[in-house]
Amino acid sequence: MKILVTVKEVADVDDEFEIDGLGIDDRYVTYDLNEWDDYAVEAAVQIQEAGEDVEVVAVTIGDTDTEDTIRQALAKGADRAVRVWDDALAAAGLLDPETKARLIAAVAAEEDPDLVLTGVQSADDGFGATGVTLAEHLGFEWAAVVNDLDLDREAGVAHVHRELEGGVEELTDVELPAVLTIQTGINEPRYASLRGIRQAQSKELAEYTLADLGLTAADIESPLEQTDLYEPESEGDATVFEGSAEETASELAGLLREKGVGS
């Protein structure tokens, strides 16, 4: 069986930052593997370790700078990786879920996976829609926000829990092939071992351009255009205690006693 797991390098913005045009000034940004994808990779690797003959292929959309991040997935146990990039993507505006799904669907058409695992959302733009859009493109079944996964390969069914709001989980059986969007907390993502990191360097990392996937620049044109980026006005009217930790703690203690706390 083959599992495709989508991974994304995401931007983490410092507490203090500056806006540069429609993005964040690069000086205030660090890049890392998307947290949700880390859980998706772990879920894929656990299935691989538990079963016979399971291949895990990580797929990403990103320029050469994202390779270090993608190698994290290889270091944690993915067998090989595919990176999609193209000058046309660098020039494109917003990579919305539809555009991303189109690109990954083209990779999936080559790979023919039985199961696709994605993160629920990415930490930076947080659309939370790429996985289900991808399922629709592939004609696969799907489940969004999965926080428990029990795969029955023989029956071709994934028994999943979907994490609904308010501490309720929905128990669902999903026919394969399927796309599952993986929620944080479903497992404990491993740290890459030194051996894993070494091995990752020699694992295959294929690069595909749009043309390699049979796509053209017209396929990545989105009707969505980002037009502004700004810091929201603070809505807060909090009374902020100033001074040393002792001083602020003392003021807070006074307030709490007034409210009857700790007495």
Partner 1 sequence: MTVLTVAEHRRGELRDVSLELLTAGRELADATGGELHTAVVGGDVEAFAERLDREGVDAIHTVDEGEEFNHDVYTQVVHQLADAVDADLLVVPNSVNGLDYAPAVASRLDWPLVTDVVDLSYDDELTATRELYGSKVETTIDVHADRAAVTVRPAEWPAAEGTGDATVDAFDADVDESAVRSTVTGFEEVGGGEVDITDADVLVSVGRGIEEEENLNLIFDLAEALDATVSASRPLIDNGWLAKDRQVGQSGKVVTPDVYIAIGISGAVQHVAGMKGSDTIVAINTDPNAPIFDIADYGIQDDLFEVVPALIEEFQ
- Which of the residues 139 through 178 are near partner 1 (CB under 8 A)? 141-145, 161-175
Among residues 130, 121, 125, 176, the alpha carbon closest in space to that of 154 is found at 176
What is residue 191's DSSP assignment?
Answer: P
Residue 1 CB, nearest approach to partner 1 (Å)? 18
Residue 23 CB, nearest approach to partner 1 (Å)? 9
Contact, 185 vs 147, CB < 8 A?
Answer: yes
Instruction: Out of 67, 110, 114, 136, point to the residue binding partner 1 (CB under 8 A).
Output: 136
- Identify which of residues 201 and 248 has a Cβ nearer to partner 1 in the complex: 248
Residues 19-58 binding partner 1 (CB under 8 A) are 19, 22, 24
Among residues 91, 68, 99, the alpha carbon closest in space to that of 224 is found at 99
- Whole-number Å distance between alpha carbons of 40 and 84: 19
Residues 109-128 binding partner 1 (CB under 8 A) are 123-128
- Identify which of residues 32 and 212 has a Cβ nearer to partner 1 in the complex: 32
- Whole-number Å distance between alpha carbons of 207 and 217: 17
Contact, 92 vs 13, CB < 8 A?
Answer: no
Q: Which residue is associated with the tokens 């980002």?
A: 226
Instruction: Choose the binding region for partner 1 from 13-21, 53-61, 73-81, 200-208 (rule: CB under 8 A).
Output: 13-21
Instruction: Out of 26, 150, 185, 198, point to the residue binding partner 1 (CB under 8 A).
Output: 185
- Identify which of residues 22 and 50 has a Cβ nearer to partner 1 in the complex: 22
- Whole-number Å distance between alpha carbons of 116 and 58: 10
- Identify which of residues 74 and 182 has a Cβ nearer to partner 1 in the complex: 182
Q: Are strands 55-61 and 80-84 parallel, antiparallel or unpaired?
A: parallel
Residues binding partner 1: number (CB under 8 A): 82
Residue 196 CB, nearest approach to partner 1 (Å)? 21
Among residues 109, 65, 56, 102, the alpha carbon closest in space to that of 83 is found at 65
Rounded to 10°, the helix 67-75/35-50 angle is: 30
Residue 58 CB, nearest approach to partner 1 (Å)? 21
- Identify which of residues 194 and 245 has a Cβ nearer to partner 1 in the complex: 245
Residue 95 CB, nearest approach to partner 1 (Å)? 12
Number of Cβ within a 10 Å radius of residue 234 = 7
Residues 190-209 binding partner 1 (CB under 8 A) are none
